Chains A and B, each alone.
Chain A
Amino acid sequence: MTTIQHISTSRRIKDRVVQGLVYLAFALAVVPLVSVLWLVIKNGAARFDLDFLTHSMRNIGARDVGGGAYHAIIGTLEQVLIASLISVPIGLLTAIYLVEYGNGGRLSRAISFFVDVMTGVPSVVAGLFILAFWVLFLGQPFSGFAGALSLSILMMPTVVRSAEEMLRLVPNDLREASYALGVAKWRTIMKVVLPTALTGIITGVMLAVARVAGETAPLLLTVFFTDSINNDPFSGPQMGLPLFVFDQAGRPNATAVDRAWTGALTLILIVMLLNLVARLIARWRSPAKGR
């Protein structure tokens, strides 16, 4: 006859050890995150004021205090917005093709493959491509738009991948329910599949936005540099926050380095704010859970 056994001491110890390892791994993963945040806040808070947010670097001499990142904030917002306007529709349509129409055929496998390849493209290569193609070959000027083009190359694969995953999560039952009501396929996709996957797609797009908002290398090659405010992304050099940080951090005086820290803080805050807004939109659009 078997009896109910007690948990042996060795199992107890193993359990403890593994539990400890899991906590340790978590702590190790959090350390860099927290330390970066803490450093940026500590060093950036000093110059984080209205002055910084509303002034550019125009006529600020090398040793002057003051100055700000207004021109860079404008540039980043415009460039990221344009990049999103280009890559979100294309990325979303690609994902819809892959999930709803591709059926694992040759074309969809080819697209999948190239999306994977694009995910691995270093950001500087995207910048070089736009520099070579848009600026040098087509003879277009350096501009915020050129920067947005290179950012959209980086955004697209992320958008495709995340949207594809979210669309695949939509249960087939719902598509069939819609077909059985005599709803055409494209309408089913528009009215049933996309709304169901919307929250996830928005999260994916935000991750892509967050990724490209901090890109420096492609901007370096495409938007050029400026210390002045340029509201027009289609003509003339613009600035971006990552560029601003890169530029200021490389200067030899403490006031510039302070500005770089504050620029980094601003960038983090902008990305967080965008995330928050997207989450609010997603919550507002999705139905209440439960009854």
Chain B
Amino acid sequence: MSKQIQVSGLDAYYGGHKAIEDVSMTIEPRSITAFIGPSGCGKSTFLRTLNRMHEVIPGARVEGKVLLDGEDLYAANVEPVSVRRMIGMVFQRPNPFPTMSIYENVAAGLRLNGRVAKSEMDGVVETSLKGANLWNEVKDRLNKPGAGLSGGQQQRLCIARAIAVQPQVLLMDEPCSALDPISTLAIEDLMAKLKDDYTIVIVTHNMQQAARVSDRTAFFNLTAQGKPGKVVEMDETSRMFTNPTEKATEDYITGRFG
């Protein structure tokens, strides 16, 4: 498990509007990479290009290369569905399926792809929920609806759902922005644990969070409103937060703008 992602010369568009321009970076396996930057600078858009979720939006398209261990995800004969099976995603707002129980939510990825026997499924559900640090809280009510959990629990349920299909990479789009500090801590602990098995990429508005959890950080910015977003700087997190090369990065991190 766990693969490296190499992006080169990537542009993303919404119809005629160019949202990000010429992004190139390497995301290392078994590590956490954080994207920071002001709102609207294209962090989330870029994240969504990594598992071909960007093109789900009508009119959206991508140019450039994304290599997963050398294999181009945007090659002509690549099936987007299989890409998403390998690169999982957790969204900003917890979004468990409202018609499904906790158990069914975790099983959804496998079940909807149409495989796996019941006995095996029980094992997968348990491992995934344990992996998401949620098992002890929900093991007695697996058949209750997932929507009945608290926000933090729902988000961990969504993480369990994402890791149940055993992806290589886990993309997290501001996974804690709707959560209280305690739930946030629970998710951060979880990320530190998941890092051993997965390549994790996280978009966050919380600078402390980026500093706490990530190994490498990329700073996105746009030169002016309406212009496409770019990567200003990417480096080891410790270096980014203490001694960044770019003035803009330092200004953003120290809170002088953005």
Complex CA distance for A103 and B57, rounded to whole angstroms: 10
Complex: A179 Cα to B80 Cα, angstroms: 9
Q: Is the interface of A mostly helix, strand, loop or mixed?
A: helix
Contact B81 A184 (CB under 8 A): yes
B112 touching A180 by the CB < 8 A rule? no
Do B81 and A192 touch (CB < 8 A)? no
Cβ-based interface call for A120 (8 A):
no
Contact A173 B91 (CB under 8 A): yes
Mask: chain A, 175-197; 1 = CB below 8 Å from B; 0 = not: 11111111110011001100110
**Cα distance A259–B51 when bound, in Å?**
67
Q: Cβ of A179: which chain B residues have Cβ within 8 Å of it? A: 53, 56, 81, 84
The answer on a CB contact under 8 Å between B165 and A174 is no
> Within the complex, what minimum Cβ distance (angstroms) separates A49 from chain B?
44
Q: How far is the CA of A198 from the CA of B56 in the complex (A)?
A: 24
B56 and A182 contact, CB distance less than 8 A = no
Q: Given contacts A180-B53, A180-B88, A181-B88, is CB(A287)–CB(B98) below 8 Å?
A: yes
Chain A neighbourhood of B84, CB < 8 A: 179-182
| B144 contacts A by Cβ under 8 Å | yes
The answer to whether B97 and A182 touch across the interface, beta carbons within 8 angstroms, is: no
Asked whether, in the complex, the Cβ of B91 is within 8 Å of the Cβ of A181, the reply is no
A 162-177 contacts with B by CB, 8 A? 171, 173-177
A276 and B82 CA atoms in complex are apart in Å by 43
Enumerate chain A residues within 8 angstroms of B145, measured Cβ to Cβ: 287-289, 291
CB pair B162–A181 under 8 Å, yes or no, is: yes
Q: Please judge, given known A-B contacts A191-B112, A288-B145, whether A181 and B97 are in contact too, CB under 8 Å.
A: no
Q: Report A-chain residues with C-beta under 8 Å of the C-beta of B91.
A: 173, 176-177, 180
Residue numbers in B under 8 Å from A177 (CB-CB): 91, 95-97, 158, 161
Give the chain A neighbours of B113 by CB distance below 8 A. Answer: 181-183, 187
In the bound complex, CA of A179 to CA of B113 (Å) = 11
Q: How far is the CA of A112 from the CA of B165 in the complex (A)?
A: 39
A286 engages B148 (CB within 8 Å):
no
* B95 in contact with A182 (CB, 8 Å): no
Does A290 interact with chain B (Cβ within 8 Å)? yes
A265-291 near B? 1/0 per residue, CB < 8 Å: 000000000000000000000111111
Q: In the bound complex, do residue A173 and residue B93 qualify as a contact, i.e. CB atoms below 8 Å apart? A: yes
Nearest CB of A to B112, in Å? 4
CB distance from B256 to the nearest CB of A (A): 35
Within 8 Å CB of B53, what residues of A? 176, 179-180
Cβ of B240 to closest chain A Cβ, rounded Å? 28
Can you name the residue of chain B whose Cβ is closest to the Cβ of A198?
B99
Chain B residues lying within 8 Å of A174, measured Cβ to Cβ, are: 95, 97-98
Q: Which residue of B lies closest to A177 (CB)?
A: B95
Determine which of A184, A286, A291 lies in contact with B144 in the assembled complex, contact meaning CB atoms within 8 Å. A291
A184 to chain B: which residues have CB within 8 Å? Answer: 81
Partner of B85, one of A182, A286, A288: A182
B33 is an interface residue with CB less than 8 A from chain A = no
CB distance from B139 to the nearest CB of A (A): 15
Given contacts A176-B53, A178-B112, A180-B88, contact A103 B97 (CB under 8 A): no
The chain A residue sitting closest to B83, CB to CB, is A182
Point out the residues of chain B lying under 8 angstroms from A290, CB to CB: 148
Judging by beta carbons under 8 Å apart, are B101 and A287 in contact? yes
Knowing A171-B95, A174-B95 are in contact, say whether A181-B144 is a contact too (CB < 8 A). Answer: no
Residues of chain A contacted by B149 (CB below 8 angstroms):
291
A183 contacts B100, C-beta separation under 8 Å: no
Q: Given contacts A173-B91, A174-B97, A196-B97, is CB(A182)–CB(B144) below 8 Å?
A: no
User: In the assembled complex, how far is the CB of residue B165 from the closest CB belonging to chain A, in whole angstroms?
Assistant: 6
Q: Does B34 contact A (CB under 8 A)?
A: no
Given contacts A187-B112, A287-B100, A288-B145, contact A181 B95 (CB under 8 A): no
CA distance A179 to B145 in the complex (A): 21
Known: A287-B145, A291-B148. Contact between A181 and B165, CB under 8 A? yes
- What A residues does B95 contact at CB under 8 A? 171, 173-174, 176-177
Given pairs A173-B95, A181-B162, A192-B108, 8 additional interface contacts (CB within 8 A):
A178-B97, A180-B84, A181-B85, A181-B109, A181-B161, A181-B165, A183-B108, A287-B145
6 example contacts (A-B, Cβ-Cβ < 8 A) are as follows A174-B97, A178-B108, A179-B53, A180-B53, A195-B99, A287-B101
Binding site for B on A (CB under 8 A): 103, 171, 173-184, 187-188, 191-192, 195-196, 198, 286-291
Leading 5 A-B pairs by shortest Cβ distance: A182-B85, A291-B148, A180-B89, A181-B109, A173-B95
